[in-house]
Structure 1
Amino acid sequence: MFEMNPLNLPDAQLQQLLMLVVAGILGFIIGYVSRQRTISQLEGDLASTERDVEDCYRKPKVPVSSANDEETVVLNRIAARANEINFTRIGVAMADSADDLKVIVGVGPFLEKKLHALGIYTFRQIANFNEEDIDQINDLIEFFPGRIVRDNWVGQAAELARK
Structure 2
Amino acid sequence: MNGLTLLALIALAIGIVFAYRAGRIAGRRDARAATPPPFSQAAAIDASAIAQPTVPAAAEASPPSPPLPADAIAGEQARLVAAYEAEAARLRAKLDDALAEQYPLAAFAEDRRALLAALADARADTARYRALVVDFEANAPSTLLGGPGSPDDLKLIVGIGPMLERMLHQLGVTTFRQIAHWTEHDIDAFDAKLAEFPGRIRRDAWVVQARALHQSKYGERA
Which of these two proteins has the greater Rg computed from alpha carbons?
2
Q: Which has the higher contact order (CA 8 A, sep 6+)?
A: 1
TM-score by length of 1: 0.46
Instruction: Give the TM-score, by structure 2 length.
Output: 0.36
